[in-house]
Amino acid sequence: MRADVIDLRDFYDSPLGEAARLQISRRVREMWPNTRGERILGLGYAVPYLDPFLDESERVIAAMPPSQGVMRWPSDGRNLAMLAEETELPLPDQSIDRVLLVHGLEGLDHTNAALRELWRVLTDAGRLLIVVPNRRGLWAQLERSPFASGRPYSSGQLDALLRANLFAPGARTTALFTPPTRSAMVKSAGSVLERMGARWFPGVSGVLLVEASKQIHALPLTREARRARLSPASVALPGLRPGAVAAERRVVDLTRHRRPQR
């Protein structure tokens, strides 16, 4: 289950949400220090982190899924937000340079299809940056946090998921070591806790940030090819060559029907 767009907006309008936005935004900007002339797509509820790119990038678009809801963004000027299914983005092939996925991956119903769709719209040199709840962090455990909605991930699970969907995991970092509390004293020490946590306790961060690039040796995933590549792949058991399980079953069936020799 994913968070509602109104709940997400209200969270980021609160002091706790603003503190979370500042910590995550700092990490996002460290990983993407320069996006001049590039086209950026924010997917899920990425709008709290897109403002720094508005004056720098060629174009910035925010796409929000129907299961979450959509609202106007930015609050002034031309609207840049749209309602779109993650598995059917209304964008041409290789039309986006960077995708920022926030409050998205953990709530997906069709994770593989959505990641393959992002592969399709990214340019060959494109980058995907995922911000996802850390399954070992406090932010994924407490209901007052929107990062507690959906499925949290470990770093290894996220790497495996990306590789299975034609992405190569790359740079990574962590954020949100400050506990999700309204305590003024804890929040005042937020910058110190972030520095200490990143250095000494990286495994218990609130969120993981992982950047990935396209595996460009893979077959192009055009709209026409997407349905074909969604068919389930055959998986052999460890130690057996492909098809060995089916062959063994046929032998067993034949043995069952063989007449006993006198």
In whole numbers, what is the pLDDT of the chain averaged over residues?
Answer: 82
The DSSP line for 87-120 is TS-SS-TT-EEEEEEES-GGG-SSHHHHHHHHHH
Q: Per the domain annotation, does 38 fall within a domain?
A: yes
Question: Which residues lie below 8 Å from residue 59, measured CB to CB, with a gap of 6+?
Answer: 39, 40
Give pLDDT tens digits for 34-65.
999 999 999 999 999 999 999 999 999 999 99
Q: Per the domain annotation, does 71 fall within a domain?
A: yes
Residue 25 has pLDDT above 90, yes or no: yes
Q: Per the domain annotation, does 14 fall within a domain?
A: yes
Q: Per the domain annotation, does 259 fall within a domain?
A: no
- For the chain, how many structural domains are there in total? 1
Residue 196 has pLDDT above 90, yes or no: no
Q: Of the given ranges (91-105, 112-126, 152-166, 183-197), which has the lowest mean pLDDT?
A: 183-197
Helices 155-164 and 111-121, axial angle in degrees (round to 10):
60
Residue 153 has pLDDT above 70, yes or no: yes
Maximum CA extent, the chain? 91
Q: Per the domain annotation, does 243 fall within a domain?
A: no
Q: What is the dihedral of CA 167, 169, 172, 177, to 10 degrees?
A: 80
Q: What is the CATH number of the domain that holds 54?
A: 3.40.50.150
Residue 259 has pLDDT above 90, yes or no: no
Residue 147 has pLDDT above 50, yes or no: yes
C-alpha 58: how far from its chain's center?
A: 23
pLDDT of residue 223: 57
Task: Work out the pLDDT band at 188, boundaries 50, 70, 90.
Answer: low
User: Would the CA dihedral through 28, 202, 155, 67 be positive or negative?
Assistant: negative
Q: Per the domain annotation, does 260 fall within a domain?
A: no
Task: Work out the pLDDT band at 249, boundaries 50, 70, 90.
Answer: very low
Q: Which domain holds residue 163?
A: 5-232
88 vs 246, higher pLDDT: 88
Q: Of the given ranges (77-81, 98-102, 213-217), which has the lowest mean pLDDT?
A: 213-217
Q: Per the domain annotation, does 248 fall within a domain?
A: no
List the one residue out of 50, 119, 38 whose CA is nearest residue 86.
119
Q: What percent of the chain has pLDDT over 70?
A: 74
Taking residues 61-78, report their average pLDDT. 94
The CA radius of gyration of the chain, in Å to the nearest whole number, is 22
Taking phi over 0 as left and psi of -120 to 50 as alpha, with beta for the rest, 176 belongs to: left
Q: Which two tokens stand for residue 135?
A: 């399954």
